[in-house]
Structure 1
């Protein structure tokens, strides 16, 4: 993995408290906070702009699937 890849992976693991949510659904990260944290950690802005949205999309799908599974598939 490249240095930038490792940095983005580390950043993504730190964003658990920066979720944007609606009742019953995760809609994404607070990307303003994510970019600020990444900047404070010295991560290249271009790497964040390129990789965070891709990771965010997968995270949203997986968390929403997990929430659907744990609430018995109830509609939102």
Structure 2
């Protein structure tokens, strides 16, 4: 946890959402880490830009 930064997602919630939406578990396991990494990077860049 870093004040003013996103370090990751609640993966339990993301997995539950994927399951509820009918996303196959194999696809979720393969894609979720990649999606999370890109989103964390982009969110932090956006926060830096808006505060900088």
Return the TM-score normalized by structure 2. 0.88
The corresponding residue for 1:34 is 14
TM-score (norm 1): 0.63
Give the structure with the higher percent helix. 2
Match of 1:57 in 2: 37
Per the TM alignment, residue 41 of structure 1 is displaced from its structure 2 partner at its CA by: 1.4
**Alignment gaps of 5+ in structure 2:** none
Question: Once the 2 structures are TM-superposed, how far is the Cα of residue 22 of structure 1 from its aligned partner?
Answer: 3.5
CA distance in 2 between partners of 1:59 and 1:38 (Å): 16
Where does the alignment leave 5 or more consecutive residues of structure 1 unmatched? 1-20
Helix, strand or coil at the partner of 1:58: helix
Q: Give the count of matched residue pairs.
A: 52
Q: Which has the larger radius of gyration?
A: 1
* Structure having greater relative contact order (Cα 8 Å, sep ≥ 6): 2
Q: Which runs of 4+ in 1 moved over 4 A?
A: none
